[in-house]
């Protein structure tokens, strides 16, 4: 028996759910809900570490770097999910935030458990991705023992990249191979070892924080409005119009007209309305302000 694995919080038997299989349907659901309610507190306890990670990621992007999520199983899938949402939500280049899972894309749909033990492949992934000292690698592993993830972080460290770990146990193997370790400890799962439950929920919350707060610091929002979204379907065009209206106080017809004039660029449309500039000049000012709409509007107002 592996003593490390046996000592993990995520591998313990939950004393509150011992007779889970004898519960009524409603009792099972209540127990799961009670256990899930512990997750936000566990995440709150590690906000200082999350803040350090966000500041690192912000600096990485400001200096032309990229962000890589590396994980296995549920952890890998959650990383891929968060990465895939960044382009439509924040208008980012798909290469800016990348998610990679042990076993490749097939493992997103079919469990390929053995790959998490493949250290050689974890190190090779970093090489294939062309990770440099400008980049950041976030390794995600509930147990903190996935060799695929540990090897990825180890290789990233050797290259000089920033490294961040997300794990659900204290004093994990992952902790020693990352610059910042985020460890929301949620306790034993309802079903022993099923870390797709509380551990996975905690990871999802932390990943939400990492990507969202980093993008906000990069000027990807205006107040709490998603101004850098890509209006790639009917729903997102409608959302863009509502965002323009909320940011400018204009009516639907005006918002629609400016969205069309801005080639469906929501942020540019708002900039044009707020400043009276035509699209080309408005875009230039936005670029000078590194894409920050609020800064661009204030800069233009001070100039004029």
Positions annotated as catalytic residues are 85, 116
**The token pair that represents 295 in the structure block:** 């800064």
Task: Give exposure, 262-272, as e/b (b: 16+ Cβ within 10 Å).
Answer: bebbbbbbbbb
Phi and psi angles of residue 230, each rounded to the nearest 5 degrees, phi first: -100, 120
- Report the distance separating Cα 254 and Cα 245, nearest Å: 8
CB contact at 8 A, 5 and 169: no
Q: Are strands 136-140 and 162-166 parallel, antiparallel or unpaired?
A: parallel
Read out DSSP for 81-142? HHHHHHHHHH---TTTEEEEETT-GGGGTS--GGGGG-HHHHHHHHHHTT--TT-EEEEE-S
Phi and psi angles of residue 289, each rounded to the nearest 5 degrees, phi first: -100, 20
Read out DSSP for 150-211? HHHHHHHHHHT-EEEEE-SSTT-GGGGG-SEEE-----S-SSTT-TTTHHHHHHHHHHHHHH
């Amino acid at each position: 028996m592996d003593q490390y694995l046996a000592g993990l919080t995520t591998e313990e038997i939950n004393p509150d759910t011992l007779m889970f299989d004898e519960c009524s349907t409603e009792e099972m659901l209540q127990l799961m809900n009670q256990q899930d309610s512990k997750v936000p507190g566990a995440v709150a306890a590690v906000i200082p570490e999350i803040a350090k990670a966000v500041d690192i990621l912000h600096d990485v992007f400001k200096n032309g770097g990229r962000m890589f999520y590396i994980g296995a199983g549920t952890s890998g899938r959650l990383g891929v999910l968060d990465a895939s949402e960044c382009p439509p939500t924040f208008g980012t280049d798909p290469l800016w935030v990348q998610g990679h899972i042990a076993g490749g894309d097939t493992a997103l749909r079919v469990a390929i458990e053995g790959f998490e033990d493949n250290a050689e492949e974890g190190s090779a992934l970093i090489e294939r991705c062309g990770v440099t000292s400008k980049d950041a690698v976030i390794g995600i592993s509930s147990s903190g023992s996935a060799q695929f993830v540990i090897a990825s972080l180890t290789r990233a460290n050797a290259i000089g990249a920033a490294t961040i770990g997300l794990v659900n146990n204290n004093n994990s193997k992952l902790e020693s191979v990352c610059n910042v370790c985020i460890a929301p400890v949620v306790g034993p799962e309802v079903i022993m070892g099923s870390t797709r439950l509380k551990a996975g929920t905690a990871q999802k919350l932390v990943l939400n924080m990492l990507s969202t707060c980093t993008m906000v610091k990069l000027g990807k929002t205006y107040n709490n409005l998603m101004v850098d979204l890509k209006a790639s379907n009917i729903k997102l065009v409608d959302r863009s119009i509502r965002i323009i209206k909320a940011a400018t106080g204009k009516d639907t017809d005006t918002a629609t007209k400016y969205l069309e004039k801005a080639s469906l660029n929501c942020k540019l449309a708002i900039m044009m309305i707020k400043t009276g500039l035509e699209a080309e000049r408005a875009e230039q000012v936005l670029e000078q302000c590194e894409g920050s709409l609020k800064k661009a509007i204030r800069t233009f107002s001070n100039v004029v």
